[in-house]
Structures are given as structure tokens and as C-alpha cells.
Structure 1
Amino acid sequence: MAFCIYARKSTESNDRQVLSIEAQVNELKQVARKDKLKIAKVYTESQSAKSTGRPIFDSMIKELKKGKIQGILCWKIDRLTRNLLDGAVISDLLEQGYIQEIRTPMQVYRNNGIDRLMSGIDMLFARKFIDDLSENVKRGLKAKAEHGWMPGRAPLGYKSDQGEKGFREIIPDPELFDLVRRLWDLLLSGVRSVPEILQIANNQWGFRVPSRRNKAGSPLGRSSLYNIFTNPFYYGLFIYQGKEYKGKHKPMITVQEFQHAQELLGRTDRAKPKKYKFTYTGSFRCAKCGSMITSEQKHKVLKSTGETRSYTYYHCSLGKDHNCSRKSITESELDAQIKDMIAEITIPDGYLQWIFKYYEHVRGKEKQKDSSQRKWIEKSLSEIKVKLDNLTNLMIDPENNDHHLLSTHDFSKRKSELLELKTRLESQLEEKHTDGRQELELTKEAFEFALYARVWFEKGNADRKRAIIQKLFSNREIGDQKVLMTAKSHFDSISKLQFPSYIKNTTFEPAVLGLRKGKTEAQRTQLSNFLRQLDDVRTFFMRNSRAFNDFPPRPGRRSNQNLAKC
């Protein structure tokens, strides 16, 4: 029986641990001498077996069909094939008797049921290895892109660092970065054409593109130069699998310079990068792993009409856990859930003006009280000033030379006490000088916001929607296609108010505080509780006014100084 030796090593990284072709042939020849096998021919090939079309393999199959060779000696069965079609050819030739034996150093496959089964299983495992490797590589490359590092070879002017494969970052090439920047400068000057820039780079500067095969490098080509001038990577973005990512690498130019370059090239329609403004970008985190929720836009063509529709999806960015679930939720589903959550903290209509009038009444009463307190504080401060002067005069009095009237210790103690009291009273007086108008306005705006938030959300643009949920909710997360948020304390307290139904759509009158006759005991109790809740809400805003002075502006009205623009 005549055997052939088949040795193969792929140029791909997954075959890195496999013996070299020369080592495979040497080992297989030793096996042939040991088992006294006749070797008719040696086939060697440097090509991947994950797909069909290997010339040397096909040539060997032809020799086997002619009957010139009856057996194959290879290092492992995966050297013969890693794809199902070539595996089927080997199995068929083994079953028909064209191949009588397939030998490896550890295994012999002959034309019988068990051996054909085992060879088929080993070929399937070889294919499974390729499939798993491919999925892992794709997953790893996508994760790398989402982390801001472009997969693949770095563009001219950049290079990959010496980190672990799969985790390498792209850094400026110290030899080419400044040189490529000079190419951009020539283009942006507007006085040089691309062919002229190419001639200057190759002939005057001696620009050479690094090559693995040619250590001296090769001259820059025109297509390569155009690729540089139209590549968004140079201003900080890159495209991977049709999606745009913001890179973490150091940009070589600005966005404005890139766009100006495209105008000079006459490619303004092609050069301007597509920018999708997603409504909830940066507003949510993944409830499972804590990564930011990212968004992407997909397009679908309706078969019935041929119309193209766009859909926006939100899902985990896998920034902290690459194995996190990527269940996505559409923007329309997200909108619907948010509207329902806003409805839960929306106050009923018909009470707003009553509440505002009540707050104005309370503030008026407080101003009267503050006025008398302010006069008392000012009088106390005047008295303290007199006491401090008298204390100082006594201390420096000639008759107190021996300190028998006032000792140094007593002087220091009494002066400190008076100064401490003076500071405390001045602080109280400063508080009384502020009439509480800002806090009152903020409280009103919070109520108004709680009343109209849902309407503003439904009619608002992307900026307004994002501003509304950021002001209403904290701990914003998405998990299993469900929105999870907590109403902020000030809106939560407003939403829990128990509104007396009998004051709805009425005007506040100070007499109501006297609990006039005609009100039932239940109504008086309900009103008393309601007023206490209103006072608690206002007190909360007075203590936390600085945290809530940037509510989104109200639609249809100009924002005042307390309303920050969205």
C-alpha cells in the first residue's frame, strides 16, 4: 500500500501552536520508518482549511481517485480538513475504498463502520474548533471596538503597542505621526493637489510605507493617500461592522479640519460622518452589570410597500461584563414605560393655583414675623457692640493697671462669648434679609413640573425628554427590557400629597385656615394633613434650594433665571 504524507500549517493565528510543516514531515517520516510504510509522495501546504479550494489538497484527492495512492499519513485529522465539504470528500473516498487507511501518530482510520464514525466525529470537532474560534474572535473584536480601540491594523501614522494580543492599544507612531500630519497640513493649505502632495512625500521627504516583507518599505500610493484623507480615524472616530465608534486614540486633526479637507477634495457628501442623536444616550445603566446603556439604529425595508423604516434600540454596552445579556429594548417601548412612571408622580389637575395662593399667604405671614425678629436682632447687635466697647474701655482703664477690676483671663473669656453671640445673630439677620422668594419660586416650579411633566415629555424633543427624566428620577437602569428608576425625593414627596377633593378648582381663601363652619370633621382632618404636607414640601425646598435651581424650561414660556436651558 502506497502512502502520501500531507502536512499543512495555516498562516492564521489559531495554528500558531501547531508544528511547522518541516517538523510535521520529519515526524511523519519517522512514523513511516517505524511502521514500515511506503511513502510515494509528500504534499505540503500553507493555507487555512476552514474553507474549500486548497490546490495541494485537491491535487492529492485526484491522485487518490486514480488509485496511485491508497493511504494518507498526517499529523492530526484536522490537518486534512476543518470544513464539512472537504471532510465529506475524505469520508466518501474512505467508504468507497479509494482510501484504505488514514494514519496519524496516535490513530489509524480504516474502511469500517467504527473508524468511519470516529473519523467523522474528529472532523466535526475540527470544524467546531473553527466555529468557536470565529465566534470568540468576533466577540472580542466587537468588545474592543466598544471600548474605543479600533480592531485591525492601525492606519498610517499610528501603530499598536506591545500589549497582549487582543488588548493592544493604538498609539502614535513616533516615526510617522508628525510626517502624516504634514500631509494633512499640505492638503489643508488649499494650494496643493493630491498628486502634488504625493510627489512631495515620496520624492522630497522620502516617505515610505512600512512593510512586513520589505524592511525598506514602499513609496506611498495615490489610493493610500486618498484613504488617509478620507479616514475619520484621524479625527477620533472609526467604523467597525458598519457602526461608528468614538476612539480613545489621540486624534491627529480636528473634526473641522477633516470636514474642510473633504470640501477641498470635493467629497463633502461622502466625508461628513453620520451622526445619530439618540434620546437616552448616557441616561441609563445596565441593571445587571452596571455598564452604560448604548444605542444603535437599524433599518428595515417593508416588503409590502418597499418603505424603509428606522428603529432605535438600547442595550448593554458590555463595558464591565462581556458576558452580560444584550436583550435590547426599542425607543418606543422605552418611551411608553417612562410615560407610565411619570404618570405615577404626576399631581392631579385643579389644585395648582390653590397651592400657590396658600404658599403666598404663608410667606406673607412669615415676612411679618421676620420683620419683628429682624428688629429684635438688630437691637441685640447694638447692645453687644456697646458691651464690647465698655469691656475694652475697662480693660485699658488706668485704674485697671494691676487688673484688679478686670483680669486678662476674664476679658478674653467675656469678649469671646460676646463675639460668638454677635456672629450667631449676624447669621440670623442675614437669613432674615432674604425674603424666601427664590425658594418659593422653586417650590412653585417643582409643583408645576410635577403637573405637566408627562405632557412635556410626550411633546418634547430628545433634549427635553432626557432633561425631564434626569430631573425626575435617580438610579436610572434598564434590566430585562424593563425601566427601573427611583423618583427623586422632592418629586416623590409631592406625588404623595393627599389632595382634599372639595378644594379642587377653587380659589384659596385665608379663612379656610380657620376651618370654617360647614366642614365635616373628616374634611377638617384631611385639610389639616394636606397643609402639613405642603409645609413639609416647602421646608424641603428651602433647605435644598441650590440642588434644584435648574429645572427644564416650561414649554411655551421663556425660562427665568432659575430655569436652565435644556
Structure 2
Amino acid sequence: MVTKIIAQGEKPGQVPQGYIKVPVLDENGVLIKKKEKIVTQTECDGDRYDMVQKMWRMLLSGVYSPPQIRKIANNDWKFRTRRTPKTGDVPLTASMIYKIFNNPFYAGYISHGGELYEGRHKPMITLKEFDYAQRLLGTKGKNRQGTYIYAFASMIRCGVCDCLVGGKTNVKLLKSTNARKVYVHYYCTRKSEYRPCNQRIYTSLESIEEQIASELQKYTILPEFRDLAIKILRRNNKIEIKERKQVYESQQKRRNQIQDQLDKLIDMRTRDMLDDDEFMSQKRILKNELVRIDDLLRSTEKRADNWLELTEEAFDFATYAAIRFKTTDDAMVKRHILATLGANFVLKDQKLTITPNEWLIPIKEQYPALEKAYLNARTNKNSSSPDREKLFEEIFQSWRAQWGSNPRHPA
């Protein structure tokens, strides 16, 4: 019975924070009952859905740890759990926040017996985002305790032993001025008993930030280039929507093919053409593929709605991230900029290596030539403003065709 309910897209029993169970009514507004029990379905909890979704966004940003998110939710938002007959109406506990972030229900799926079943409820995140969150939680979201906030703690790994890099603060009293001087360094925590490490030299915060700033410069574009590029993107919005529709139809076709294979598999089992082990093995493969395709469909639907917004955010990052990183004193802002810049941050012999996010690579490889062509067009006295803009659009579209209409901005 439980499996049947789950297969229909409903989770038996209570649902996680952010959702509620509501009674199902027939066409006459009368409660539907089965075996004297009221039939219910999962809906969004109007009082908590947006707050829980915001918790997920904070986690996925890589800036906030679960304890920090819990503190903000309880103290700033006054979040309280859903009231039930026996409990509820209380702040989030430490175990509750991790229970939220470990539950695929928020990605639209119900976990049962080692398999994921698609739910009928409205998801807060995609399955891809859920998987990314689980990788973030591999560090258990714990920041080093202390009065100083280490912007890059738990983000960087040692290039020798793969242990996390932590931060350390030393305060010295300057005798000449009687002032306090704060020195911040990063170092390999060397917590592995099985992987020897020779990285004992500390790297200063200044050195780390200089290397990040240098990397950001490789992906920085002119502000006027950004303005013209976004103007062209908005003009081509309808074309983008058409292309997204074609992608969606292709994915839907693939889903139908997998569903047909699953139906045929069930038919073969019914006619004893497959034994139980072979049937279950092939069924699991097809079901997992369905889950993957459904997540792609959802992502395509989402991108079709907000691709332009994400593209503008990507151009904003490429335009302003370097100067913002240089001028801000906010450690969390710097952490967010680094998380947006790339992944797989490795520190070895005081050298920081950054693997840039895919959507930034074309900027580094192709933008310099594009900028040169743009500046030549801008300074050409023999061409009018419309002519220069037309030339720029031709150059930009050529570059953008290689970039792809979706820059895959992590936001």
C-alpha cells in the first residue's frame, strides 16, 4: 500500500518543513475518504515554503554553513516549525537543518527502498542542485570558530594530501605605535592519517587574495561591452525561447522512449520472458534514467523562463566581480565571488590553483580578440553609431555561438 501511494507521487505520513498535507475534495467539495481515512495531498506551506527555499539558496551559494543558516532563520526570520498535535511551533534544531538539506523531497522526489520516485509536489530545487548540496555538506558546513571570519576556509584543499585548508589569526602588538596588527594565514590542516603531507608553510591572506584577484582579471569585460551585449540578448529573446522549446521537445521524446521501454519490460515479465532478478535490474536502470531525464526537463523549463536573467547575472559578474573583490571588506562577499568564479580550489607551495566555471572559459579564451575588435569599431571615425553597433553585434554573435545561449551561471 505504501509503495502504491509513493508511486502515485505522494509521501505517506508527514511531509518535510515547507510543505503541508491538505484534504482532497471531490467536485462537490466533499472530503474524499478511503477506508474511513481522509485522502490528502501535498501542497506548499504558505507560511514556510519561501523561507525554506531561501535556506536552500543560501546553502547552494557556498557562502553560508548550515549552522549559520539555522541561526539566521531562527533569529532574523523568526522561523518556527509546523505545528502538529504533539509537537511543533519551535525554532529549527541542529538536526532539523541537516535533515532538510539531506532530503531529496525538496528536489521533487520521494526516497523509498533505495529508489527515487517522482513526487507530485512543487520542488524547491533541481536534482542537480541537490547533488551539489550533498557535495557541499561533505565538509559538514562547519566553519572554523573564532572572532575572525575566514572567507576561504573549507573551500580550498591541499594539493598534496587533499585535506581542507584552514585559517589562523595571529595578533601582534607594535611597540612603536602600541597598535595591534592582525595577521591572517591559511594552512593545510593535515588531518589525514593515511596521506602524508609536506605542506607546512603558511600562506598569507594577502597572497591568497592577490592570486584570486589576478584570476578574476582574466574574466573581466568592459562595462560598455556588457551594456551592448545585454541589449542584443534582450532583442533576441524570442529566438532563444524557440531554441529552448526544441531542446525540451527532444528531451520529452527521449523520456517517452524510455517509458515505452519500461512498459515493454513489464510486459515481458508478465509473459515470463524475464526472471525476477533480470527484470528488477533492468527496471532500476530505466527508472533511474527516467529520474535523470525528468530533472533535465525541469531544468530546461526553468532555463526557458530565466535564461536572460542568468545571462545578465553572468555579464554582471564578469564586469564587476574583480573591482568588488578588490574594494570590499566583507569576507562573505569575497567567499561568494570565489565560489562563483570556479571550483576545485587547490593550494600547494603557496600557489592557489582555481578551476574556472565552464561559463567563464570562453571569456578568457575569446574575449580579448572580441574586445580589440569592439574598441576598433568604437574608435572608427568613418562609421556611424548604428554601423558600429551592427558590427559589434556580428562580432558578439560569432563569439556567443561558441559560448552557448546558456552560460550555466551557478546562481
Higher relative contact order (CA 8 A, sep 6+): 2
- Give the TM-score of the pair, scaled to structure 2: 0.44
